[in-house]
Structure formats: structure tokens, C-alpha cells
Structure 1
Amino acid sequence: MTYTGEHLFPGQLGHFASVVSLVVSLIATFAFFKANRALIETEKKSWLKMARVAFFIEAAAVVTTIGCLYYILSNNLFEYYYAWSHSDKTLQTEYIFSCLWEGQEGSFLLWTFWHCLLGIIVIRKGGKWEAPVMTVVSFAQFCLATMIIGVYVFGLKIGSDPFLLMRQKGILDNAPVFIDQATGLFKQDYLKYLKDGQGLNATLQNYWMVIHPPILFLGFASTIVPFAYCFSGLMNKDHSWTKPALSWAAFSGGILSLGIMMGGAWAYESLNFGGYWAWDPVENASMVPWLIMVAGLHCNLVYNHSKYSLRTTYIFYILSFSFVLYSTFLTRSGILGDTSVHAFTGADMSAQLISFILVFFLPAMYLFFKNKNTMPTVKKEEELYSREFWMFIGSLVLFLSALMIIGQTSMPVFNKIFGTKIAQPEDPKFAYNKIQIFIAFVVGILTAITQFFKYKKSTGKQLAKSLTIPTVIALALTIIFCLIFKLDYYTHGAGFLVAIYLATFSALYAIVGNFSYIVAVLGGKIKTAGASVAHIGFGLLLFGVLISSSKELILSHNTTGIALFEKTDTEDPAENITLFKGVPIDMGKYMVTFMGDSMNTRDKQRVFTIHFKGKTNGEEFTLHPYWLKNNRQQEGYGATPDSKHYWNKDIYTYVSSWQQEGTDTTTFRPAELAVGDTTFYSNGMIVLNKVNVTQSATKMGSDSSMEMGLDMTVITKDGSKFPATPKVLIDKDKASVIADTVLAQGLVIRFNKVLNDKDGKLEIGVKESNSLNDSLTLKVIEFPLIGAVWLGVIVMVIGFFMSVFQGYRKLKQTKAAKQSVS
């Protein structure tokens, strides 16, 4: 049967390309495997040629599949379930890519695309390792291709097809408007009733979600290359793989750290949990492979320099990739659907995802234990005063950190497997922080001192000489900083506060120590300082995290006493100030005014204009947090923050609730009062009790400020009483009128001026309005030195990539030296 308006060709082409990708990736796997096993050079070249052709066809098929899916999304072809469930007609063009990888199938395509690109680089630069490494990469491509094939084998569904039509998916089967009642089949013109799609999740309509997922998935994809090198070493019983793998591990560590913290930046700018890291299960699942990869990178360095830690290097590279696969299971199986805002929910592919993990992990571990006893080892124990010993200790600490994080994160999995009901901790952040802060302290100290050790052995006298000055400087900086900033985070007791002090010292020590190493040991040769630069970045990151978190300050304490919502697990009305349109409200450091709101139709944003005025320095600025309309009706609006950035802090705001009751057209009515006098309004009277005057002066006595506040009582006809305290603040000849609001009576009272000093007559303004409910609640947080977090990430990533190029140069020099000798 032909259906009017359906565009079948892009779906058919995309599905055909995905089938081609599946088939040729298996051919490439077999051909690369045969090339690796071939002993005769001509046979090896023949298999390699076939394998390369198959892999390039596979790469072209992946690009074609992605292109077809993008075409379907960008042209609003809602006959396809993927387009209907992830896009809509009002979606901006720049977010079509976000739609592409919002779904499971699109994210797998993104992952496999990066494998194609990395595989092409290995083919060009891999040398003798091309065939075995590409055997592993091609097989991974085959496994990923099964995730989007969407076929049934003996009743078992393999993958989820992104090119399924709505009528094939069964979504519309129970909707009479689409079904011909006479035949029970879809109407030929059913598409004319399918007006629009569900739209993109509101939290994903942010520019970070256009760039963060590709970078993060490149990081995930890149972990396969060090894994493939070590798997190749186990297959071929050749351990020289550690030299070419080192640069790949540094690349993977750098790109993963960038991708993870881009996610933190997205959370900071798009989500309203108030920060950049919440120990969310999906955040944790991405962090664990990074920690293990960095541990493996350091063990790899140790082996290349001293022949220690080869077995540990194998284990860490195997586990890093395996935990990427495990994080895939966590985020796509739906098991974290109730505990994470990031988790995918949809087609249950749990069995297939578990198979994906085991098909790589089990063979790798089998080969490891089979070859363990034949691996080269150094019988002599490492010297205590040696770089390799402390790098190994640091790697173990990172690995321990990863195990603790993944153990806590996997509690839903544990509950499901064993039928237990172990609850998540009431304070998830502290549950992680109370352990990780001590690990951060140890890692910070090791980051500061380890590079001063020499490989094989160092002398105590040498170390003392090298470390004395940076230690003293770091200690002095810590003392000075803590005296200025007064770290007083007693929320979790004095013990945790001591841990914050220790970790702050270790962060500054890491920065000072590595800077000292670059100057004193490397002679300022920055080209060879990749590791030190990365360590400085880590120190900055750790420092920024500690200070921005421990000195985080809630500014929006609700001084009005009026709450527009009830307390929940995530929001407390006492920490959300209530603002009424056009009425300045005292918020401690700032006078804050809700100026109004507007609807940005194109971006589907309800934009709020919030004006801030500093009470001490008179600084003024305006922020525009907004609510983003989501077409998925059950989700409504999503709150998106806005921040005022300073070099030393951020003023971070978001609107937690909002209500609108019409337009206020009433004006203030003047009334003359002296102390003890009364003025009337429609539902009662207002009494002036007394006038409070507070005056302050600077130390020099040249400038002064004065605050005149009126102590008033509103008494209703039924005898209810409400306090009111309008004020005037006079600072350097500038007067600021601060009105007060009695919401229950629809009253706004302000202090206009002094009429006559002799008889104490004052003029007040009284406004009765039915639109005072045009109001919102605002959360405002001050994050001190949060810029150190982002700067630290940038510096750390630069250090990683400096190490990549440094390792590549060394490898090139070694090859050139061998060729010149031969």
C-alpha cells in the first residue's frame, strides 16, 4: 500500500548503509586478522589491501547513514519515529545535531564515526601494529553496527533501527484518527494528521550540547586504541607496543578530560542544580575511564623508562576501555533512569550491551593471564626514592578512586541483580566528597613532588634541595590565601574542614611544584614540559573545585518571608528570594528587581530581566535567566541559569518558579504622616510607628551614608496585622527608594520624602494592586574563583596534547635512528 507524503528513500538508503557497515566491518576484521597472522610478506600485503578497502567502505557507509538521518531530522520527516521523537518544526537549525545524538541510535553512530576517523589514522601511521590494532577496532565497529541494525534473529531483537517509520513502530496503532476503521489499516493520508514532533529535550537546547557530546564520544572512542595496542601485544606476544601507545593514551586522557568538563560547563549553564558537578551517575561513569586511563598512562611511562609496571599497564588499558563499555550499559540500559538526568531511556538493549562488554573484556583478560608469566619484569624492587615507585603509587591511588566511584554509582545495578533495596545516600555529594577529598590530597602531593625524583634512584639530599623552596612557597601561599578567604565550611564538621585545608595546600603545591620543575630542572624548555603543564592544570582545577564549592554562598535568602512553592528534595523556598515585578527587594549584598519578562518565540524562551544593584559600591548589572518551553508536555518548562562573570567570582542565578496575574496599571497615592498618624486604604489602615535613622561614615570621614526606615503596621478590617518597613538609602548624595510589599493585601508602600523637619511630616506612597502576583522566585549563588576550574581544564588539556606531540616526536626520532643504522 502506498501512503501519501511518505519519503521512503532516505530511510531505505540509511538502513542499507547500516547493513553494509555491519557486513564490511566483519570482513575488515577477518582480513586484518589474517594479515596479522600471515608470515609471507606478499600474503600479508594482499590481506592488508583487502582489509583497508573494506574499512574505507565501512567508513563511507557510516557517513552515509549519518547523512541520511541528518536529512530526515533537518527536513522534519515525521513519518520516521526518530525525527518525531527528537525534533519539531520550530527547532532552530543549530540544534539539529543535538537531535542526532539525543537518541541511543544517533549516539552509537557518533561513536562509530570517531572509530572510523581514528582507524584511518592508525592505517596511515600504525606501521607493524596496523593489522592487529585494526583487527580490534574493526571488530568494535561490527559490534557498534549491531546496535543500530534493528533486526530479529530467532525472535531476539538485535539493535534499534533509527529509520523505523511511525506506522512500523506501533506508536499510532491506538489512535483512531490515523486508522481506517473499515480496514484496520493506516489511512493513506495519515501524515496530514501528524502535524509536528515531540521536540528536543529542553536541557539539550544549548550550544554546549552541540559540541560537548562529539568531544566526549571522541574521548570514549579513543580509549579503544590503547586497548587495541595492548590486546595486540598479548596476541603477538610482543611488548614493544607500549611506545606507540603512549601518545594515544595521552590523547585519550586529554580529550576525555575536555569532554567531561565541557559537560560540566553545559550543566553549569543549562541545568538548575546550581553548579558544574553533582556526582550524577552518568558524570561518574564518564570520569571512571578517564581516571583509569591516566593511571595507565603513568604506568606506561614507568615501563618505557625503567621496565617496571608492564602488567599494570596492561590491566589499566583493558579496564579503561571496559569501563567505557560499562558506562554505555549504565546510560543506555535504562537502569539509571530514576537516578540520573543524563541517562537514555528507550529501547532496552541490556543483554546486547552486556555482551558488548564481555566480548572484549573476557578475551583480553584470558590472554593477559595466559601470557602473564612470560611478560618481561624487573626482579629488583623499585627504590623508595625513585620516580617509578611514586608514579606507580599515584596510579594505584587513581585506580582506587575510580573503583570507589564506580562502586557507589553501580548501586542500582547491584540492587537489580541481587534484589536488594539499598537506598542512595541522603546527601550524594558528601558521600563521594568525604572520600575523594583525601584522594585529591594524596594525588596533589604526588603531582607536586614525583617529577623531582629520578628514574632508578634519587638521593635524599638532592630531593630536599629541590623540594624545599616550592614546599615553603606553597605552604606560605596556602596560609595567606586561607587567612584572606577564611575557609569556614563547617557543614560536615571540623574534620572535613581540615581535609579542605589539606587539599587546598596540595592543589597549590601541585601548581608551585611543577612550575618550579619547569624553571629549575627543565631550564624553562616548555616544549618538553607537557607533563608539568598538565599537572599545573590539574592543580588549578583542584584548587578551583575546592574554593568554589567550599565557599559557595547562597545570596538569595528569602527576606520577604513569602514562599511561592513548598520545600522539595532539590529546592528550599528559604534559599529562593521572592520578587514582585517592579518592586526592589533587599537581598543582602544587592537590591534586586524583577523588571519583567518577554517571550522569545523563535527560541521558545520565557526570558526574565533581573536588575541587580550593589548596596555598598552601587554597581549595577542585569541578568537574563530564562525558561525554555519543551514540546514534551509532561516536562513543561526547563529553567536555564544566567551568570555575571568576574575574574574572582560568578553571580549565578536561575528562576525556580514564576506566576503571572496580569498587568499592573495602578499608581502610588501620596499620603502625609507623622509618627503615630494613620492613613487608610480600601481594606484597612496603615500606622506609622516610628522612624529609624542609621548613619555610617568612612574612616577618613569624608563620605557618609544614611538609611531612613519607617516602622509601619498594616491593620485590616478584620484586625489582622502586617509589618511594613519601606526605606530610603542615601549614599554619596544619591537616594535609593526601597519599597516594601504586603502581598496578602496587595499593597506596596514606599517612603517618598521628608516634608517638614519641624513637625516631623513625611510623605509616603501607597499603591493597591491586584497584579502583585506577577512574581517569581530567584535562586542566586556566588561561586568564588570558579574561573580557576575552567582555566585548570584548559591548561591540563594543553599539557596532555603537548605530551602527545612530545611522544610522537620521540617515536619519529627513534624510527629515524633505526633506519640510519640499518
Structure 2
Amino acid sequence: MEYIGEHLLPGQAGHFFILVSLVASLVAAFAYFKAVHAAPEEKSGWLKLGRWAFYTEAVAILAIFAALFHILYHHLFEYKYAWQHTSLSLEFKYIMSAFWEGQEGSTLLWAFWHCVLGLIVIKREKQWEAPVMSILSFAQFFLATMVVGIYVFGVKIGSNPFILLRDSGLLDEAPAMHVDFDVTKPIRPDYLSMITDGNDLNPLLQNYWMVIHPPVLFLGFASTLIPFAFAMAGLWTRDIKGWVSRAIPWTLFSIAFLGLGIMMGAKWAYESLNFGGYWAWDPVENASLVPWMIMVSGLHTLLIYKHTGYSLRSSFIFLALSFLFIIYSTFLTKSGVLGDSSVHAFADIGMNGQLFLFLIVFVWITAFFAATTNKQRLIITGVTAALSLATYFLAEYIPGFPLYVILSGIITFIVLLNKQVPTVAKEESVSSREFWMFIGSIIFFLSAIIIIFQTSLPVFNKLFNANAAPGENDEFHYNKIQVLVAFVIGILTAITQYLKYKSTSGKFLIKKIGIPTLISAIVAGLILAFGNINYDKHGMGFLINIWLALVATVYATIANAAYIWVGFKGNLKNSGGAVAHFGFALMLVGMIISSSKKEILSWNTSGIAVPFGEGSKEKTGENLTLVKGIPMQMGDYMVTYVGDSSHPKKQQTFFKIHFKSKKHNEEFTLLPNAFVNYKGNEGLMANPSSKHYWNHDVFTYVSSFYKPNELDDTASFRPHRVTVGDTVFYSRGYMLIEKVAAKDNLPVEGFAKTDTGYTATVKVQELNGPSYQADLLLIKGGGQVLFQSQDTIMAQSLVLQLNDADQNGITVGVKESSSVLEYLTLKAYKFPYINLVWAGVIFLVIGCVMAMARRIRLG
């Protein structure tokens, strides 16, 4: 059957290039694999084949991108992906957000960055090209399987982004599509004419941060593969030392861009989510943070090895686990297992088994490369295939079976690694830089493991059919441990750079670090004495831990800033590490102060209590109810709900909230918005709005609102024919018609030369009370009313409108209504020194890039 209006060519081309990508990546992986151990006369041939296969892969990914973008840009709703993620009202700037809102699009983004990084490896890493590109191409093959969308022996492999809507089963969801299909009959040839619009992009993602945050984050995800590939290449080729120098710049690159991507997500959360800050220990946040932390540990052990010969085994383990946890975080995000515990996890689209297979294969690949003989590698290959197949069939029947397979692979890797990688027998000095760098790396790693364990409870529940749950206060459960980690890491970050490798005398250390320590003690003491750090929500013990962490991170900030001059004599070109440490410490200072000093401004002083319902995180006493037009006191501000407007095409309301300071001659207006999420999640969703100062932010979001509509309002307009000077009485006073004017030119969109506008000014006087003014507008054209405005006098429960006007007078409509009252509840915080967090991120990234550039020069 032919279906009217379908554009099949973009989808057919896109799917063709997915198949090309699948084949090309597999060919590239095999060719580069053969090149690793090929004879010199054969190696160049295999390298050439691998390169051209990878070039083909890169072109295929670009073609897939172009095809899918074309479908989204032109709103071709015959494709499920376009209907599911876009709408006719979606702004152009959010088309790319729609591209990677879905699992398939984000997978393509990941594959795109692999191609970019792979081309750089081919260009710059000639010595290590074959083994590194073999591993990278094999990873690309797995990513390609996730979007191929074909059936093999009745098993679906991947989810095709180019599937047609009529083949997806979504036509059965007629209510969601605002069309009327009889699902018991064949699909009509003209079904497209009945699809009036798409399902739209999630409103929370309609934010400029979601245009730029995912590409940077996925660049960070993709980049973790390169240090991993270098480490595995070192084991594979038995050059267990030579890879380190080449891997260090790539590790710094990964830390910089993965960290930047994570914190760009935090900035998005701060501006778009209503959990009251930039970090909520959300499972998806944690899943990306943990690989970054392990990568940082791996960088420091690489530097230890580079300078002393210690910690090479640890470097292999950290770099391997960093990438493996990237795959695991992909499983957490894409499997749907976190759907009930995360604000931005994907729904399950049936790829759980495939995602687990991806993880299992790469876990056992580490064991394959750590093997010391061809016999061991052959055995591991067979074991990997058998366990992968067993996982598919037995996971449902043996609780925790996939976890046992993964753990057994990691243990096998570590055992074989210890046999292949030698260790230095000499003991390290406690006064050496490398000793404390290693201690810091281990603490950072253990901190990451604690975070991922807590985050993985939903996975454990699913694997073991258990019902383990985090503590009642999930945020505090993380903070009470991580604040102690911040203390230890802060002290180590402050002191370690001042130590020498091998050994450091006490006299040398005191001479170098004495002044920074004294300055840090003074600054930290002043902050504790006058900063009013009195966060007592969880008791005195936790407050003391906050004080300790603050002192340590202030120490780290000042000590690392001083080290640029003490250690590098002011040579910024070589001080990337100190700049990165300074940024990291500054970020921690900002996090501790802004979180511990976060102040609720919106205490309910209005006397109007709005119930939020059972299960809501909101508390009535922490939300101020604002009645439209009536100023209310909020701390040092008088706050007025001035008005609101609705999105012309979406169920979204924008509020205008005016703040006037009582202490300072200052006024500002914030524009938060809210909506009932029409993308499937129940409840009110809110986009915050903030006023930024150098030393704090005023952060607000709407927690509930009420706008009466025609169904709520049973009162009707009563017409009154009047002229200037006439009086109209109502139940609580009277109205005086003060001025009427006809206009032949109004600054109103669509006002034509043949139209006539009328304006009227009405004074409303309450008996023995205040007076109010209403301004009314009417536009007539061709003998018909084209537009008429309404003005609401909230305090009098009055609504006025201009019904008609001519040279003989005007007709004013008057409505007295009990449903006129409009209100909202506002949650407002004061975040002190939040800018320290963002400034710290910037310095951290700049420092990593500086250090990377220096390592490239040295290389």
C-alpha cells in the first residue's frame, strides 16, 4: 500500500548509512587488529585498509546526522523520532536538543565524537595507531548495533531512529496524537493528514544549555575511551611503559571536557529544574561524575609513574574502570532502571540486554589484553562468548548473574595484570609527593565507589529481586560522607604540590608552604568568625564537618594560587596543574558555602496556606503565596505578582514577579515559568528565574499557581451604556467614566488603517476605601469587534471590559466574580557566593587544557 505524503528517501538513506557504519567499523577494527602483529611487509596494507574503513565510518556517521536532522527540521511526522521529539511550534534553536533527547540521537552523538577523536589519533599517534584504533573501532561497532534496528534470529538489535510512525505501534496511542484512528482496521493511506502536530520536545529541555551541554558531555564520554585504549594497547603490545607519555595529554583532555560537560549540566539544572540548586545527587548526575573521579585518580597515578616508576598497575586499573563506568552509566541512563529515581533518565526501549552485553564484552576485553599468552587469550575469548550468551538466557532466572559475570571479568583482569606488569620493590617515603598523591587518588577512587554503590541500588533491586532503599534523606546520605572526603582532599591538594618526589625535608616544606598556610588560616578564620556558617539542619557534628571541609578547601585554594609563584616562579605556561587544583578547590569552597548558607527567603507570611498534596517535596511554610497585584513582604524585599502571559502554542505560563528592596534603592523583575508536564510526567514543572549578583543569587521558582478560567467563573458581564462623567454602581462602590478617546493609529500588531481604536479610563471607588484605575481598549473594523481587553481589579473582585463604542457613547461590561482571585506560590532562595562554583569550573578546565598543552610540547 502507498501512503500519501510520506517522505521515505531520508529514512532509507539514513538506515543505509547505519548499515555502512556497522560494516565499516567492524572492518576497521579487524584491519587494525591484524596490523598490530602483522609482518612489516603486510602491516602497511592492513593499516591502509583500517584507515579507509574508518574514513568510511566517519562519512557514514555524518550522513546519518544529516538525514536525521533533515527529518527533524522539516517535521516529517511520518517518522517516529520526529513525531516523538518535535512539534510545529518548536523553535529552530531547539532542533538539536530534540536530536539528542532520544536514546538513538544521543548514541549517534557519542559515535560522532568517537569519529572526531579517531581521526585525530590517526593523524597524531602513528606509533600507537593500530592497537588504539582497533579498540576504538570495536567500540564504534557496538554503538552502531544500538541504532541498527534489525532482527537476528528473532532478537531485536538496536533501535532504529528512522523507523516510520506507522511501523512503531504509536498509532495505537490515538489520544496522545489528537487523531482518531480505528486500530482494528488497516492504516489508512492518508493517515498523515490526520496527524496535526508532533509530541513536542520536553519543555525542561527547551533551554539553551540543553543545546550545548549534551555535545560537550558526550565529547567527555567519548574521550574516556582513548586513555583506556592506550592502556590496553600497552598490555596488548607488551609495551607496558611507552604508552604512558602519550596517554597523559588525552587523560587531561578527558578530565577537562567530561568535567565541563557535567558542570554545564549542573548549570542547566540550576536554571531549569526546581530542586533548588545545581546538584541533587541525581542518579544520572552521579553516573557521569563517578567516571570523572576515577579518571582524575588515574591521571595522578600516571604522573606518579612518570616521575618515579610507581603506581603503574593502579594506572591501568583506574583508566580501565573509568571507561567501564562510562558504559555502566550508559546502562543506568538508557535502560530505564532509573526512571523512577532520576529527573532525566531515558525510558526503557528494550536495549537492556544489549547494554549489558556492551559492558560485559569490554570488561572481558581488559582481561584479554592483560593475558600473557595466546592460549590465555584464546580461553578468555571463548569464556567471553559463553558468558555473554549465558547472560542473555540466564539473567532472568539467576538473580545477579550479569553482576557476577562483570565482577569475575574485573577480577580476572586484575589477576592477569599483576602477572604482566612489574612492580617497584622499593618502599616510598612518607615525605614524598608520590606517596600522598597515591593516597589522594585512592581516597578519590573510594569516594567514587561509595557514590556509585548508592546510585546503583535500583539496579541491585532489579538483579536480586530485592527492595534495598537509600536513607530517608538521600541528599544528606551522600553529603555526610563527601564532606569528609572534601576535607581530606583539600588538605592533600594544598600540601602535596609543595613536596618533592622521592623525599622532602621538613625544613624545605615549611619554608615553601609557611606563608600560604598562615594566609589560609587567617582567611578561613575570618570566614568562620564572620561568615555565619551555622548550618544546623543535621546537628552539630555535621556542622563541624562543614567547618573542617571549608578550612581545608580554603587552604587548598590559597596554597595552589601561591604555588604558581612559589613552584613555577610565576611561569603560567607551566603551571597548568596548579591552576587546575586552584579551580577545583575554589569550586569546592563555592559548593560548601552556597549549600551550607543557602537561605530560604520565601517564608509564608501571607497567611494563605496552599496544600501541595501528599508526596510533594514542597512545604507550605517555605512557600510564599502571592495574590496578583498585591505586594507581599519577603525578607528584605516587597514582592508583587504583577501579571502573567501564556505561550501562544503550549500549555506554559510565564509569570512576572517584581522585587523591591527595602534596604537598598533597587528593583528588579524575575520571569519564572511553569507548566503541567504534557510529556507524560504528572505534576507541575517549573523553570526557575534568578537575579545574579557578584556575591549571591536570588533564585526563584513557582511551586503552584491558580488562574481562573471561564468554566470556574459563573458570573457574567452586565452591560452599561454610559458617556464621560457617568457613574456605574456595583456592590462595594461605584465607577466613574473619566475619559474616552477614539484612535486611528495604535501600536498594536495587525492594526489596519481602516480600523478604529477606542480607549476608556475608568475610576473605581470603593465606599469608604481606596480608589483604583482601569484602562480599557477596544478595536473595531468593518463594523465588527476585532479586539477587546479586560482589566481586573483584584481587591474588588471586578472585571471590566469595553464592549462597544461610537460617537454617542460606550458600553462597559462589568462582572463581579468570586473567581477573579489569581495567585501563585513562590519558592525563593538566596545562594551566597554561587559564582565561586562556576569560576572554579572555568579555572579547572583552563588548568587541564594548559597542562595538556605542556604535555604535548614535552611529548
Which TM class, normalised by the smaller chain length?
0.7 to 0.9
Which residue in 1 is equivalent to 2:21? 21
Which residue in 1 is equivalent to 2:828? 780
- Residue 803 (structure 1) aligned with residue 851 (structure 2): yes
Which residue in 2 is equivalent to 1:365? 367
Which residue in 1 is equivalent to 2:163? 164
CA distance in 1, matches of 2:335, 2:612: 34
- Residue 513 (structure 1) aligned with residue 559 (structure 2): yes
Which residue in 2 is equivalent to 1:675? none
The alpha carbon displacement at 1:370 in A equals 2.8
Identify the range of structure 1 (562-571 vs 333-342) with the bigger mean alpha-carbon deviation: 562-571
Which of 559, 566, 589 is equivalent to 2:605?
559
Contact 1:112 1:144 in 2 (8 A): yes
The one-letter amino acid paired with 1:287 is L
Matched residue of 2:317: which SS? helix
CA distance in 2, matches of 1:345, 1:302: 42
Contact 1:297 1:313 in 2 (8 A): yes
Which residue in 1 is equivalent to 2:763? none
The alpha carbon displacement at 1:43 in A equals 1.3
Matched residue of 1:570: which SS? coil
Contact 2:313 2:417 in 1 (8 A): no
CA distance in 1, matches of 2:827, 2:182: 52
CA distance in 1, matches of 2:61, 2:708: 53
CA distance in 2, matches of 1:772, 1:208: 37
1:785-820 per-residue CA deviation (whole Å, 9 max, x = no partner) reads: 000000000010000101110110000xxxxxxxxx
1:386-435 per-residue CA deviation (whole Å, 9 max, x = no partner) reads: 11111101100110000000000000111111111112321111000000
CA distance in 2, matches of 1:451, 1:608: 51
The alpha carbon displacement at 1:600 in A equals 3.9
CA distance in 2, matches of 1:261, 1:426: 26
Matched residue of 1:172: which SS? helix
The alpha carbon displacement at 1:573 in A equals 1.6
CA separation of 1:83/1:445 partners in 2, compared to 1, >3 Å: closer, same or farther? Answer: same
Unaligned runs of 5+ in 2: 371-412, 718-729, 733-769, 771-793, 799-814
Contact 1:200 1:631 in 2 (8 A): no
- Residue 406 (structure 1) aligned with residue 452 (structure 2): yes
TM-score when normalising by structure 2: 0.81
The alpha carbon displacement at 1:365 in A equals 3.2
CA distance in 1, matches of 2:573, 2:83: 51
Matched residue of 1:148: which SS? helix
Contact 2:684 2:704 in 1 (8 A): no
Which residue in 2 is equivalent to 1:146? 145
CA separation of 1:620/1:375 partners in 2, compared to 1, >3 Å: closer, same or farther? Answer: same
Which of 468, 480, 486 is equivalent to 1:440?
486
The one-letter amino acid paired with 2:307 is H
Contact 1:237 1:371 in 2 (8 A): no
Contact 2:591 2:837 in 1 (8 A): yes
Contact 2:87 2:201 in 1 (8 A): yes
Which of 304, 326, 329 is equivalent to 2:328?
326
CA distance in 1, matches of 2:544, 2:659: 35
The alpha carbon displacement at 1:96 in A equals 0.6
CA distance in 2, matches of 1:56, 1:185: 44
The one-letter amino acid paired with 1:570 is K
The alpha carbon displacement at 1:520 in A equals 1.4
CA distance in 1, matches of 2:531, 2:206: 37
- Residue 586 (structure 1) aligned with residue 633 (structure 2): yes
1:299-333 per-residue CA deviation (whole Å, 9 max, x = no partner) reads: 00000111000000000000000000000000111
The one-letter amino acid paired with 2:225 is I
CA distance in 2, matches of 1:787, 1:149: 44
CA separation of 1:533/1:198 partners in 2, compared to 1, >3 Å: closer, same or farther? Answer: same
CA distance in 1, matches of 2:634, 2:824: 14
1:525-571 per-residue CA deviation (whole Å, 9 max, x = no partner) reads: 01110000000001110000000000000000010121233354411
Which residue in 2 is equivalent to 1:709? none
Contact 1:202 1:629 in 2 (8 A): no
Identity percentage of aligned residues: 54
Alignment of 1:345-356 (within 5 A): 345-356=347-358
Matched residue of 1:391: which SS? helix
CA distance in 2, matches of 1:167, 1:772: 46
CA distance in 1, matches of 2:847, 2:680: 46
- Residue 293 (structure 1) aligned with residue 340 (structure 2): no
- Residue 96 (structure 1) aligned with residue 95 (structure 2): yes
The alpha carbon displacement at 1:660 in A equals 1.6
The alpha carbon displacement at 1:574 in A equals 1.1
The one-letter amino acid paired with 1:394 is G
The alpha carbon displacement at 1:602 in A equals 6.6
CA distance in 2, matches of 1:348, 1:131: 34
Contact 1:92 1:603 in 2 (8 A): no
Which residue in 2 is equivalent to 1:205? 206
CA separation of 1:48/1:608 partners in 2, compared to 1, >3 Å: closer, same or farther? Answer: same
The alpha carbon displacement at 1:373 in A equals 2.5
CA distance in 1, matches of 2:689, 2:238: 56
The one-letter amino acid paired with 1:218 is L
Which residue in 1 is equivalent to 2:187? 186
Which residue in 1 is equivalent to 2:314? 312
The one-letter amino acid paired with 2:842 is I
Contact 1:90 1:602 in 2 (8 A): yes
Which residue in 2 is equivalent to 1:118? 117
Alignment of 1:414-813 (within 5 A): 414-567=460-613, 568-601=615-648, 605-628=652-675, 631-632=678-679, 635=682, 638-661=685-708, 770=818, 773-811=821-859
The alpha carbon displacement at 1:120 in A equals 0.1
Which residue in 2 is equivalent to 1:108? 107
Identify the range of structure 1 (564-573 vs 481-490) with the bigger mean alpha-carbon deviation: 564-573
The alpha carbon displacement at 1:620 in A equals 1.2
CA distance in 2, matches of 1:185, 1:602: 32
The one-letter amino acid paired with 2:160 is D
CA distance in 2, matches of 1:587, 1:184: 60
The one-letter amino acid paired with 2:161 is P
Identify the range of structure 1 (647-656 vs 165-174) with the bigger mean alpha-carbon deviation: 165-174
